[in-house]
Amino acid sequence: MTKAQAFAIARWKAKRERRDWLVWSDRSGAAQVARLTAEAVKRAMLASGTAGRFHRAAADGRTYAVTWRMGVIMLRNASVGCI
Q: Give the domain range for residue 17.
A: 3-79
CA dihedral of residues 74, 68, 13, 61 (deg, nearest 10): 90
pTM above 0.85, yes or no: yes
Residue 61: per-residue pLDDT? 83
Residue 27: per-residue pLDDT? 87
Q: What are phi and psi of 47, to 5 degrees?
A: -75, -35
Domain count within the chain: 1
| Residues whose CB is less than 8 angstroms from the CB of residue 6 and which lie 6 or more positions away in sequence, other chains included | 23, 31, 32, 33
Residue 78: per-residue pLDDT? 92
Residue 8: per-residue pLDDT? 93
* Rounded average pLDDT per 10-residue block, the chain, 83 residues: 91 92 92 95 94 93 93 94 81
Q: What are phi and psi of 26, to 5 degrees?
A: -85, -175
| Residue type at 22 in one-letter notation | L
